[in-house]
Structure 1
Amino acid sequence: MKRLIILFFIIVNCTMTLYSQKKTPQPLGINGNWTIQQDFSDEFDRNINKNKWSTNIDNWPAWSSDSRKVLIKNKRLQMSIDWDKHKRNGKQLYFKSGILTSKKKIKYGYFEVKMKGAPRFPGASPAFWLYSRVRNSGQNVKYVEIDCPELQSKQRDNDIISWNVVHINKNNVRMPIRQETGNGLGPSKKFHVYGYLWTAEKIEFYIDGKKIGRTVQNKFHKYAMNLIVSLGLREPYYFYDKNGVRQPVPTPDTPSKFPMTSEVEYVRV
C-alpha cells in the first residue's frame, strides 16, 4: 500500500510538472510575451468550434460560400472550391467555396496562420485576412480590410504572395495599398507561416518569421474586424465590371482544374 501511495504521488507530480511546462505558443520569429486569444485561435485538432467560427457567408458577387466545403481532417482545416451552378437572388453563379469567419471582432494584435495553397492554378486564392463593414463612422469609409497572405491570386505567376491594406470610401471607390513577393517559396507545395502585426501605428507583414513589408497605420484601419480564412474564386472565372465589381464568367461545366483544396494547420492570434 505504501508503495502504491508513493507511486501515486510521483505520477501526480510528474503530470503537474509537464502541465506547468506547457507554454503558450508564441509567434514565429516575433519577440514579446504574447497571450493567445482563444476566440480567434484554433489548432484544428477536433471538430469546428461553432461557438467561435461561422462557415456560411454567401455575399460574394461572383460566387457563394458553402459550409459543406469546410472540414477538419487529419488535424488540418481543409477548404475546397468547386464548380456548382446555382442561382442566388436570381443571379446565375457557377462556383461555391469554403470560408471560416470569426464570430467576434478584434482590434490590434499579431495574427498568424500556417497554411498551404491550392495544388492547382489558376482560379482560386487561399487567404488569411481581416475585414469590417463600417457603419455610422462619420468618416469617408464604408469597408476596411487587411490581407496576409493572398496566395495564387495573380494569373501571371503561381508563386506570387500578396499582402494588402484596403479601404472603400462612401462613393464605393476602392483604395488599396498592395505589395507582393514571388521569391520561390512554392506556396502551393509547402506549408508556410504567414503573419501580420497590426497596431495603432503600423501594420507589418511576415513570412516564416521574417518581416517582408510594412505600412504606416491610417485613420481607416482602426476599427474592430472579423478574422477570416478563405479559399476564394479568382480569374479567369470572373471579371470586373465598369463599377469595379466582380462578375461571374459563364462557365457551363466543371473546369479541368476543379475541385481545389487548401489546408491550414493552425490559426493563432
Structure 2
Amino acid sequence: MRLVFQTPELTDREAIVIPASGRTRRLLQAILMDEDGQEVENIAIVYEMDKSIEGIWIDGDMLYLSDQVAQCTQFYVIAKVKLNQEICTTLKIEVIKDFTLQDALPSPLEKEGWELVYHEEFQDGQIDWRKWSPYYLRGWTEDRLAKADFYFEDGKFIITSKPDREPWCVQDGEHRVSSIQSFERTHLHRFGTVTGSREIPDFRGFATKYGYFEVRMRLPDTKDGSHFAWWMIGVQDDQHITAEVEGSEQYAFGVFTNQTAEFDIVEQTLDAYTESKDYEPNIWRPVIHPNGSTDLNYLWVEPTPIINSPSHEFHVYGFEWNEKGTKFYLDGKLVQETDRTPNYRMMTLFSLYLGAKDGSCGMGRDRGIYPKEALIDYFRVYKKKEEAKPISLVINDYQGPSYLQIPNEKVKRYRMTAYAMDQWDKPIEADILWYLGTDVQGMRVLSRKEEEAQGVTIHRKTGEVIVEAHAKENQDIFLVAYCEENVKEVKHLKLSKKDPYGETLRFEISEDTITKGSERILHATVYDQYGKRYPGQIRYTIMCDIVGSESCRIEGVQLRDTNRLVVDKDVPSNTYLFIEAQEEKQQLRACLVLRVI
C-alpha cells in the first residue's frame, strides 16, 4: 500500500505566488494505492505542514496562503492515512513573495457624467438572484452539468471549480465550465454544429443596450490551461420560439436570429507557459464576434499589456458601448477603441473554463492544479447622463404570439403592440411604424403586392396584421417595428392552422419583492401559440433555485390554499424565494423570483 499525491509538486513554474491582497488556496489531493495500482476508496487522509509559517495553514484538504506571508519560502505538506499514519508521502511547495504586486484601487461608486443603474457589490454575501442564473447555457445540456460552483468571501463573489467537474455539454467536447449569466432562453448562443436546444423557460434577469460596464476582479492563479471570460451576448429577442425557418439547413445564426453578437471583454488564459502568442496571461485583448449578426464585423482588438499579473492582483476592467462603437478601459484609463456596435440589448456572463488535460480545449493544458478561482469584487452598470431618446423597441412586451392562425374563411386580425425604450430602459414616447420584412434581419420590405400574394398584410401605423384564408401554412412572417433610422425590432412569427394548445406558462405578477409579514396571491396563466389564454391546472411550489429540480422549505414561508404565499415577519430581509408554477398535463413551467424586504 502506498500513498500518492495527485496534486503536482508546486515548485519552479508551478510555485505559488502570494497575491497582492487576500489569500489564495490549493486543493491537496492524495490517494491510497494497493499493490495492483488500484485506488483504495473511502480512506480518510489527513494533511499537515512540516513547519509553521505565518500566513500559511491547512484546513482539511485545502492549503491556504495569505498576503501575511512575509517572504519567499518553501516547505513540505505531509499526507497520512488517518488510521495508519505510517503510510505517508510528501509534497514540496515553493512560495514566491513578489513585492511589486499591487492591486488597482476600486473606482468610486459615483462616476462623473454617468448614472449608476445597476450594481453588485457582494458586501452582504449575496447576489441578486432576480438578475442572475447560476447555470451556463443550460438549454444545450442537463441542469446538473450546467450549474456553477461559487461562494462568497470577504465581500467577493468567487467562481470556483472542482477537479471532478464533468464536461458541460457532450456536443462541446471536453470543455468544463463553471459560470453564471444574467439571462436564459431556449436556443440561446448556438455553437458548433448543434442543431436543437431543449426548451427552458425564459429567465429575464438583466439585459440592456448601451452603457458603461465595470468589473474589478482577480483572475485565477493556477497558471495552467484554463481560461476565464467576462462576456456579453445578444439575447435573441427576434427569434421564433422554435428557431425554425422554412427551408433546409436553416438552423444557423443569421437565419433564425440576428441578435448574436458577442463581446469577449475579458477572455484571459491562465497558462503562464503557453506557446501561443495570441493568448498571453498578461495581455488584455478583447474579441468582438458577429456570430452571424449583420450589425457588425469580427475584430480582435489590439493588445494591452497588464502590469505585473491579472492573476495575482485586482484590476479594474471597463467597457463602454454606445451607438457609435465601443471603448475599453484598464484601471481607469482608456486603452482601446473600436467602431463595433450591435443594435440590440445584450446579457452578461462570467465564465470559468477548466480546460482538458490534453489541451484539446484551447488556451493550454490543465495540469491538475485546483481550485481555479476568479474573485469578482464588484459589477457595475452606468448610463450616460444625457437627454432621453429612443434607442430600442419592445414588441408585445417580449411575449407571444409565436404563431398567427390562418382562418378557414375570410380573415383573422391581430393587433401587435410596440413601445420605445430610452437608454435607461424606461418607456419613452415615439411614433412607431410597421412593415413586413423578408428575413430575420428585417432589411428588406415586402411590397403591397407581395403582401397580398402571401396572404398577410400589416397596417403601417397601427401594427394590425391581417391573415387571409389562402395564406400558406408554416410560412415565416417577419414583423418589423421602427421609429427612427437605426431603432427597430424584428419579431419572427409563423402561420398555422393547428388547433390551440398550451405553449407557454407565465406569472401575471409585476412586483419582484415581497414584504415580510405579508402575503401574495400567486397567479400564473397558460397561453396558447396564438397568444390567447388557455385552460390549465397550475400547481405552485417553493423551489431551491430557478430550474425547479428540488423543492425547498424556508422557515416562516408557506404556501396556503394552493396559491397564497405567506411570509412571516421574522423571515430575514434579502431572502430569495423561487416559486415554480407547473402545468403538469402540458408539461409547462415558469419561475418567479421574489426578494423579501
Distance 1:170 1:43 in 2: 33
1:17 is matched with none
Aligned to 2:285: 162
Structure 1 residue 223: Cα displacement: 1.2
Instruction: Select the residue among 120, 129, 133 that pairs with 1:54.
Output: 133
Distance 1:228 1:75, change over 3 A: same
Give % identity.
21
Say whether the 8 Å CA contact 2:259–2:344 is kept in structure 1.
no
Separation in 2, partners of 1:203, 1:196: 7
Specify every segment of 5 or more residues in structure 2 that has no aligned partner in the other structure, as ranges.
Answer: 1-107, 183-204, 240-252, 382-597
1:8-43 CA-partner distances (Å, limit 9, x unpaired): xxxxxxxxxxxxxxxx8134xxxx3322222xx200
AA aligned to 2:109 is P
CA contact (8 A) 1:194 1:207 kept: yes
Cα distance, 1:136 vs. partner?
Answer: 4.0
Question: What is the aligned counterpart of 1:197 among 276, 300, 320?
Answer: 320
How much has 1:160 moved relative to structure 2?
2.0
Distance 1:267 1:175 in 2: 26
Q: Equivalent of 1:146, from 245, 263, 281?
A: 263
Distance 1:264 1:152 in 2: 17
- Give the Cα separation in 1 of the matches to 2:169 and 2:269: 29
Q: Count the aligned residue pairs.
A: 225
C-alpha separation in 1, matches of 2:372 and 2:167: 21
Please say which structure displays the higher CA radius of gyration. Answer: 2
Q: Distance in 2 between matches of 1:169 and 1:95?
A: 23
Give the TM-score taking structure 2 as reference length: 0.34
**Matched-pair contact (CA < 8 Å) for 1:147–1:165:** yes
Report SS of the residue matched to 1:264: strand
* One-letter amino acid of the counterpart of residue 128, structure 2: N
1:1-269 to structure 2, matched below 5 A, reads 25-27=109-111, 32-38=112-118, 41-45=119-123, 46-59=125-138, 64-67=145-148, 69-84=149-164, 86=166, 96-102=176-182, 103-134=205-236, 136=238, 141=258, 143-152=260-269, 155=274, 156=276, 157-169=280-292, 175-218=298-341, 221-234=342-355, 237-239=359-361, 255-269=367-381
**How far apart are 1:49 and its partner, in Å?**
1.9
| C-alpha distance in 2 between matches for 1:73 and 1:176 | 36
Q: Distance in 1 between matches of 2:268 and 2:159?
A: 14
Q: Deviations over 1:137-177 (max 9, x none)?
A: 79674521112222226734321222121111179xx9343
> What per-residue deviation string (whole Å, max 9, x for no partner) do you get for residues 176-229 of structure 1?
4343223434101100000110000010000001111010034xx111010122
| Code of the aligned partner of 2:360 | Y
> CA, structure 1 residues 182+234, in 2 after alignment: closer, same or farther (shift >3 Å)?
farther
Task: Rate the CA distance shift 1:176–1:234 in 2: closer, same or farther, 3 A.
Answer: farther
Would the aligned equivalents of 2:216 and 2:316 in 1 still touch at CA under 8 Å? yes
Paired with 1:175 and 1:49, the residues of 2 have a C-alpha distance of 33
Do the aligned residues in 1 keep the contact of 2:224 with 2:367 (CA within 8 Å)? Answer: no
Does the 8 Å CA contact 2:151/2:159 hold for their aligned counterparts?
yes
CA distance in 1, matches of 2:270, 2:299: 15
Note if contact 2:220-2:270 (Cα within 8 Å) is conserved in structure 1: no
More strand as a share of residues: 1
Give the counterpart letter for 1:258 in structure 2. Answer: Y
Residue 369 of structure 2: SS of its match in structure 1? coil
Instruction: Please report the RMSD computed on the Cα atoms of aligned residues, expressed in angstroms.
Output: 3.6
CA-to-aligned-CA distance 1:63-106 (integer Å, 9 cap, x gap) = x5423x12211110101133335466766965644322222211
Relative distance call for 1:85 and 1:49 in structure 2 (3 A) is: closer
Contact 1:127/1:229 (<8 A) preserved: yes
State the shift of 1:238 in Å.
3.1
Amino acid at match of 1:128: W
The residue matched to 1:44 in structure 2 has which SS?
A: coil
More helix per residue: 1 or 2?
1
What is the alpha-carbon distance in structure 1 between the residues aligned to residue 230 and residue 207 of structure 2? 15
| Cα pair 1:204 1:215 within 8 Å, conserved | yes
TM-score, with length taken from structure 1: 0.70
Following the alignment from structure 2 to structure 1, what is the Cα–Cα distance between the partners of residues 216 and 292?
Answer: 32
- Distance in 1 between the 2:351 and 2:167 partners? 21
Question: Is contact 2:167–2:175 with CA below 8 Å preserved after alignment?
Answer: no
> Secondary structure of the equivalent of 1:149?
strand
Give the structure 1 partner of residue 13 of structure 2.
Answer: none
Pick which of 194-203 and 139-148 moved more: 139-148
Task: Write the letter of the residue equivalent to 1:99.
Answer: S
